[in-house]
Amino acid sequence: MIPEIRQAYNQAFSVSRYQEMLEAIERELPGLPDFRIAETPIFVPAALRDKLISAGESIIDVLTAPNFKSLTEQAVPPRQRVPNENEHTSFLAIDFAVCRNAQGDLEPQLIELQGFPSLYAFQDFLPRVFREHFPVPDSVSHVFQPGGSAAYIEHLRQLIVADENPEQVILLELFPEKQKTRLDFELTRRALGIEVVCLTKVRKQGRQLYYEKEGRHVPIKRIYNRLIFDELDQHPDLKTEFQLTDDVDVTWVGHPNWFFRISKYTMPLLHSPFVPESHFLHTLTTYPADLENYVLKPLFSFAGSGVRLHITAADLDAITDKQNYLLQRKVQYEPVVQSPDGLVKCEIRMLYGWPEQAPRPLLLTNLGRLSRGEMIGVDFNKNKDWVGGTVCLFE
């Protein structure tokens, strides 16, 4: 999207050079990369950058409104409501498709949003690796605040660790060694000095939590939460001393309730040129006449699971729990990233941190995804090149 940078990058690109980059990642993170890393960053010009920032701010206006909590009370399932919810989320990820408007200009269109962390550490690691192997000028950057990577990591430290001893702060997951995002866990551990702890290894005495390290019982003061209830529901017989819904003396960094409040559930509350028309399915008395232009999404699924691109009125009528579904106007991705053999579609995730006393989230970095398939997800891009996870470098 920045022609001169794209042209220089593509001229320097070769499959062998890309393989060398992957091998370098493997040497630094042995055995950890478990998802496809795309062949290129996404180079984002200033005009699109400004629209992405503006679109994000218009969404944040809704999230910071005094009535947002009351509007989203029903989003949190009663059996999954966690005590001691704070005033706002600690993390915000907003996914935009890159599209073309009627005037022919590139613009973002909202795909979904989540009050949950993403690959914050990996997204600082990946730009360095690209720069080490391919020509990337200093005129583009993956971070939005002054000070580069060092300042970025300090923002994460203040958000996640704050004033606690890092040893008493954990990254919480279920079977973290099996997660596709485990390379981000390891980079987070290295950057912040916090431990990655499985839910099954958390111990509980009264209202206190701790984990075992080198034969010691280490108190847990803060939890950087990467665990979602979807994952727990896949293990109904799991036995743990600590349940997420327990009332304990711990500070959640990314309180679990915000995963539900800021989600597809939020989309019908948003009204902007950058937000496609969205409806809770159970609120519709009639369906749109052009259903072929809509997509059906389960409200509480994760990573694109359960999304249906092709629907009929009969399909919608057959759904018994309509309150758990969102009907959203389809977004037309514009192929804009030039690969050696054609243009590729992309999605841009804007990543924010929201310190406890701050009035609004702070835009920190981003994540990019390239796709040649009908959807962005892995299942739609198997056996393809110039697809997968990447990072955007902004003018």
- What local confidence, expressed as pLDDT, does residue 209 receive? 98
- What local confidence, expressed as pLDDT, does residue 32 receive? 84
Provide the residue-wise pLDDT of the chain in tens; the chain has 395 residues.
899 999 999 999 999 999 999 999 999 999 888 899 999 999 999 999 999 999 999 999 999 999 999 999 999 999 999 999 999 999 999 999 999 999 999 999 999 999 999 999 999 999 999 999 999 999 999 999 999 999 999 999 999 999 999 999 999 999 999 999 999 999 999 999 999 999 999 999 999 999 999 999 999 999 999 999 988 989 999 999 999 999 999 999 999 999 999 999 999 999 999 999 999 999 999 999 999 999 999 887 666 678 898 999 999 999 999 988 999 999 999 999 999 999 999 999 999 999 999 999 999 999 999 998 776 665 566 778 999 999 999 99
Phi, psi of 374 (to 5 degrees): -70, -30
Specify the amino acid at residue 255.
Answer: H
Orientation angle between helical segments 182-192 and 148-160, nearest 10 degrees: 90
Length of the chain: 395
- What local confidence, expressed as pLDDT, does residue 34 receive? 86
- Give the bridge partners for 141, in sequence order: 394
Q: In what order do the strands lie in the sheet with 294-298?
A: 278-280, 325-329, 294-298
- What local confidence, expressed as pLDDT, does residue 181 receive? 94
> What is the number of H-type helices and E-type strands within the chain?
10, 18
Specify the amino acid at residue 18.
Answer: Y
| Cβ proximity of 349 and 377 under 8 Å | no
The pTM of the whole model exceeds 0.75: yes
- What local confidence, expressed as pLDDT, does residue 27 receive? 95
Helix (H) or strand (E) holding 278: strand 278-280
- What local confidence, expressed as pLDDT, does residue 1 receive? 87
Measured over the CA atoms of residue 62, residue 63, residue 66 and residue 71, the dihedral's sign is positive
- What local confidence, expressed as pLDDT, does residue 165 receive? 98
Domain ranges of the chain: 3-276+331-354+362-371+382-394, 277-330
Measured over the CA atoms of residue 23, residue 26, residue 32 and residue 33, the dihedral's sign is negative
- What local confidence, expressed as pLDDT, does residue 146 receive? 96
